[in-house]
C-alpha cells in the first residue's frame, strides 16, 4: 500500500501545478493578446498551448491519481463527505470546460491569422470567459477540500 504522506504530497503538488498553471496561463494570454501588434502571436500562443497541455495534464493526473488512492486508503465514502463531492464536482466541471471549449479555442487561437482582429477577438474573449470560469471552479474545489465545509 502506498504511503499516505507521500500521496498527500503528490496531491498538493498536483493541485499547485494545475492551479498555478491555469492562473498564470490566463495572465500570459491576456498580455499576449494586448501585445499582439508587437509580439509574434502564433509562436507564443503555441507555447502557451503546449505549456498548458503539459502542466495542466501533469498536475491533474497527479491530483486525480493520488486523490483516488487517498480515498481508498482512508476509506472515505462520497455519501458521507460533502466536501469530497464538491471538490470532485468542481474538478469535473472545470475539466469538462477545458476539454469541450478551452482546448479547441486554444487550437483556434494559435491557428488564426493574427491580422484577423475580429476572429481573434471573438475566440480570445470566449476563451478568457470560459477559462476564468473553469479556474474559479478549481479554486472552489480547492476551498472545498481544504476547508472540508
Spatial separation of the C-alpha atoms in residues 115 and 10, rounded to whole Å: 43
Q: How does pLDDT run across 102-143, given as a tens digit for each residue? A: 999 999 988 999 889 999 999 999 999 999 999 999 999 999
Distance (Å) of CA 65 to CA 34, 55, 114, 127: 37, 15, 39, 28
Domain count, the chain: 1
For position 3, what pLDDT does the model report? 92
Mean pLDDT value of segment 14-26: 94
pLDDT beyond 90 at 28: no
Q: Which domain holds residue 11?
A: 4-147
C-alpha cell at 58: 501533469
Percent of the chain with pLDDT over 90: 71
User: Residue 32's pLDDT band (boundaries 50, 70, 90)?
Assistant: confident
104 Cβ contact list (under 8 Å, min separation 6)? none
Task: Please report where in the chains the cell 482512508 appears, as a residue.
Answer: 74
Asked if the model's pLDDT at residue 81 lies above 80, the reply is: yes
Mean pLDDT along residues 75-93: 94
Amino acid at each position: 500500500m502506498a504511503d499516505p504522506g507521500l500521496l498527500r504530497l503528490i496531491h498538493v503538488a498536483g493541485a499547485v501545478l494545475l492551479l498555478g498553471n491555469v492562473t498564470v496561463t490566463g495572465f500570459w494570454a491576456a498580455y499576449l493578446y494586448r501585445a499582439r501588434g508587437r509580439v509574434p502571436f502564433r509562436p507564443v500562443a503555441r507555447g502557451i498551448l503546449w505549456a498548458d497541455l503539459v502542466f495542466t495534464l501533469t498536475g491533474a493526473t497527479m491530483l486525480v491519481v493520488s486523490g483516488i488512492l487517498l480515498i481508498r486508503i482512508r476509506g472515505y465514502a462520497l455519501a458521507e463527505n460533502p466536501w469530497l463531492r464538491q471538490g470532485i464536482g468542481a474538478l469535473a466541471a472545470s475539466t469538462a470546460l477545458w476539454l469541450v471549449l478551452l482546448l479547441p479555442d486554444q487550437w483556434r487561437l494559435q491557428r488564426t491569422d493574427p491580422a484577423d482582429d475580429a476572429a481573434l477577438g471573438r475566440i480570445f474573449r470566449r476563451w478568457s470567459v470560459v477559462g476564468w470560469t473553469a479556474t474559479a471552479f478549481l479554486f472552489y474545489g480547492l476551498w472545498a477540500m481544504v476547508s472540508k465545509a
